[in-house]
Structure formats: structure tokens, C-alpha cells
Amino acid sequence: MTMGFAARARLFAARACALALPVLALAGPARAQDPGSFFADKTISFIVASGPGGGYDMYARLLTRHLGRNIPGNPSFAVQYLPGGGGIVAANNLFGLSRKDGTAMGLLASSTFLLAAIGDPHTKFENLRFTFIGNMNEEADTCSVWHTTGIRSVEDLKSRDVIIGTAGVGSNSHTFPLGMNAVIGTRFKVIPGYSGGAQVRTTAMERGELFGSCGIFVSTLGAQFAQPLAEGKLGVVLQMGLSRHPKYKDVPNALELAPDDSGRQALELLFAQLALGRPIMAPPDVPRERAELLAKAFENTMRDPQFQAEAEKTSVETRWFGGARMREVMLQMEQAPAGVKQRVRAILDQQN
């Protein structure tokens, strides 16, 4: 018998937590010090909730190349990859084990905030207690298929089994297809284990191993898969989000296909996390002055001409916003009706 969502998440989280990095061990209380001079000669540990090579890595590397220049003292960054549990491992570590003096932050998977909001027991963090630094991009998600499959429409997704790879239980690439199977009648067959970025899944499509993949953000498609899209080898047949993305105005959104209010509300809760597509967080209890300095440095970086020039050159989308808006989105997820949360939990607890 295959394991359900909760069993797989527990397995992934248990394995990956054992690999937590010593550098993230909790330090003692921060010394009272001018925040402007504190970061001089410091190295900030920057956690990424995935392996190297994917969209999260792309955003993390871009940000860390420029953020230090906008922080007084010009600290350096050490990027550390903590994949596992669909992003739960990185979030648990940043929340509970990382230094709380301002020298630890990270780019987390927005999917983990949904899991915490609906009460998943493996999330050892509280969404609203994170220190919100800023969100690099409001996202929309996609389901894309390889041209040799003959799949061209949503009706094709409903009329035949569609084998797709996922980055792991708890990730968008896993939970979104389960939600759409339950609500709009798609027939995705999810195969976990394709972690390490969307390129891993597209390579498997080329080999004929997979039909396609959901959970590839629009920003990742534009930055990493422009050529196969232009050549017609990779096609977007469905998108997920609270509205259609401007780049894919003609591609149906799963919300539009919900047969009733109950189904639509469940999908809205699933997709709400996409507003926090590339969230930059620090642990709770960072000294207020340092937290404010980091948040301001993030905003200055997003407006920095050098940062913007590199983002444009590499086709990295930056529909960014600051910490106040992040908190609003998180609060909306936390305050979703109990019945809607229960339905989403039921969707995610399905056996695969």
C-alpha cells in the first residue's frame, strides 16, 4: 500500500532534519549594538528550501549577489540548501534552529505556510511569528506537458491518466494536482522524488518518463524554459492562481473550472500561497532594529538599478512587495473557515 500525504511528509521530514547544518545552531541573546555596524565582517547564512539549479536557487543567488551591498557593513552570504519534506525541513530549521541575531535568513517554499495554516503536525513553526523581510515575486503556477504526449487541453487532462513528477510531498507540484483531481476531475498520477528543480522534471519528460509537470512557476518557465516553449516542445495547458497571469491570458485557470463554491474555496486556499511566491524570511525574535534594517535593505535591493538590470538580463520576474503585505496574505490563510481547511486537509491526505 502506498503512503498517504502525512506518512510521506513524516518520512521526508525525519530524514532531512537529521541533516540540519551545525552552522544554524541557535545562538545566545544578541548583544545590544548599533544595527548599522553589527553586520560589518559578518556572514549571513541564507537557507534555500530546495536543491541547487531550480527556480528557488535562481532567485536566492540573484538576491544574495546584491543584498549585501544594501546592508550597512556589507555582510557576505553563505547559501545553504535544505531540501526535504516539500520545504518543511527548511522552514522548521529557520524558525527553530537558526541564529536569531539577524545573521540567518532564507527563501522558503510558500507551500509550507499552507501546511502550517491547516495544522500539519510536521510544521514546527508558526507562520505569523516569522520575521518578514519581503517577497521577491508574486507567482502563478502552471501545468505543462511535453509535445509528444498529445495533451493539448484541460479536457485531455480529464479524459486520460497523466503521469507527472513532483518535487516531493508537500510541494506545490504535488499538492496542486491532488487538489485539482479532487475538485475539477483531472486525472494526474503524481510521482514524487523529482527534487532539485523543475529542470529535473523536464529532463524526465524528454526521456518519455513523465508526461508533464505541475508546480512550475510562470517566472521559472520564462527564465529557464523559454526555448522549449518557443519551439512548441513544452506547452502550458492549465494555470493555478487567484487570477490568470498576464503572460498566459488564454490559458484556463483551475479556479474557473470549480463546479461549486465549496470546490472554489478549497482551491482558493490552496492557491493563496502563490502570492508569497518567493518569500524571504528570518527567524522569529530578531531584534527589531535589525529586522527593520534588513527589510529596508530588501526594498532598496529590489529598486537597485544593478539588481534590476541583472533580473531583466536573466528573465527573472520581480513582482515584489514588502513585509506588511506578506503578513496580510499569511493572516488570510490562517483565518480561512474551518470547513475549507478540513476539505484541503482531506485532499492532501489522499493516498497516491
Q: How far apart are CA 344 and CA 264, in angstroms?
A: 11
Domain end call among 228, 253, 272: 272
User: For the chain, how many structural domains are there in total?
Assistant: 2
Q: What is the mean pLDDT of residues 209-238?
A: 92
**pLDDT tens digits, residue range 37-65?**
899 999 999 999 998 988 899 999 999 99
Q: How far apart are CA 86 and CA 91, in angstroms?
A: 10
Whether 219 and 315 map to the same domain: the answer is no
Does residue 351 have a pLDDT over 80? no
Q: Virtual CA dihedral for 153, 158, 163, 168, nearest 10 degrees? A: 100
Whether 300 and 259 map to the same domain: the answer is no
CATH number for the domain spanning 163: value is 3.40.190.10
Range of weakest confidence among 12-16, 60-64, 118-122: 12-16
Domain end call among 237, 272, 307: 272
Residue tagged 516569522 (cell numbers): 130
H-assigned helices in 18-96: 35-38, 55-66, 88-96
Domain end call among 272, 299, 320: 272
- H/E/C letters for each residue in 74-112? CCEEEEEECCCHHHHHHHHHHHHCCCCCCCEEEECCCHH
Q: Between the CA of residue 245 and those of 91, 115, 173, 275, 317, what are the distances in Å?
A: 27, 24, 18, 12, 12
Whether 132 and 149 map to the same domain: the answer is no
Residue tagged 527564465 (cell numbers): 223
Q: How far apart are CA 25 and CA 45, in angstroms?
A: 11
Whether 123 and 180 map to the same domain: the answer is no
Q: Virtual CA dihedral for 172, 198, 224, 77, nearest 10 degrees? A: 80
- Beta strands 141-146 and 131-135: pairing type? unpaired
Does residue 122 have a pLDDT over 80? yes
Mean pLDDT of all residues in the chain? 88
Q: Between the CA of residue 52 and those of 62, 115, 141, 196, 225, what are the distances in Å?
A: 13, 23, 20, 6, 16
Q: How far apart are CA 99 and CA 76, in angstroms?
A: 16
Whether 108 and 154 map to the same domain: the answer is no
Range of the domain at 83: 5-138+276-348
- Beta strands 131-135 and 279-282: pairing type? antiparallel
Q: Look at residue 4 in the predicted model and tell me its pLDDT.
A: 44
pTM flag (> 0.75): yes
Whether 76 and 180 map to the same domain: the answer is no
Residue tagged 522558503 (cell numbers): 108
The partner residues of 135 in beta bridges, in order of sequence, read 279, 321
**pLDDT tens digits, residue range 139-155?**
999 999 999 999 999 99
Question: Among candidates 150, 172, 126, 165, which has minimal Cα distance to 277?
Answer: 172
Q: How far apart are CA 28 and CA 42, in angstroms?
A: 16
**CA 336, 95, 286: angle at the middle one, nearest 5?**
105
